[in-house]
Amino acid sequence: MPSTDQPHGPLRSLDEWDDFVKSRYPEAAPGEAPGQKPFVAANADKKPEAFRDYRAEARASVKEFYRLNHTYQTREFVLQKKREYLARNKSRMGVWQ
């Protein structure tokens, strides 16, 4: 998760993203298969017409996600990642590793 000194900046490492995902989507308890929890509607009174209303205002978190992507995913950033990963100096792993 972002540190307090830079609340709206990009993540410093993928570990921050992993920590966020673990806190947002905790693993299933031992003996419980993932996805077997009963479905609980966020708003049981929601009308079917409002289910995917693309005309509605986007959530603030979605707007912030796109703002960060448009701000920090520059051409130079992409070229840097290409140099980093296309150099093929990382470990080679199969599908199941």
Is 73 within a domain?
A: yes
Q: Is residue 66 part of a domain?
A: yes
Structural domain includes residue 37: no
- Contact (CB, 8 A) for 64 and 8: yes
Residue 68 lies in a domain: yes
Q: How many domains does the chain have?
A: 1
| pTM flag (> 0.75) | no
Is 12 within the bounds of a domain?
Answer: no
* Residue 53 within any structural domain of the chain: no
Closest CA to 9 of 82, 79, 46, 64: 64
Residue 66 structural domain: 58-89
pLDDT at position 32 is: 66
- Tell whether 77 is covered by a domain: yes
Distance CA 52, CA 74 (A): 31
Kindly state whether residue 75 falls inside one of the protein's structural domains: yes
How far are the Cα atoms of 11, 13, 18, 22, 25 from residue 35, in angstroms, in the given order?
28, 28, 20, 15, 11
What does pLDDT average to in each consecutive run of 10 residues of the chain (97 residues)? 54 80 75 64 77 80 88 89 86 83
Instruction: Please tell me the distance from the alpha carbon of residue 44 to that of residue 33, in angstroms, as a whole number.
Output: 25
Q: What SS3 state is found at 35? A: coil
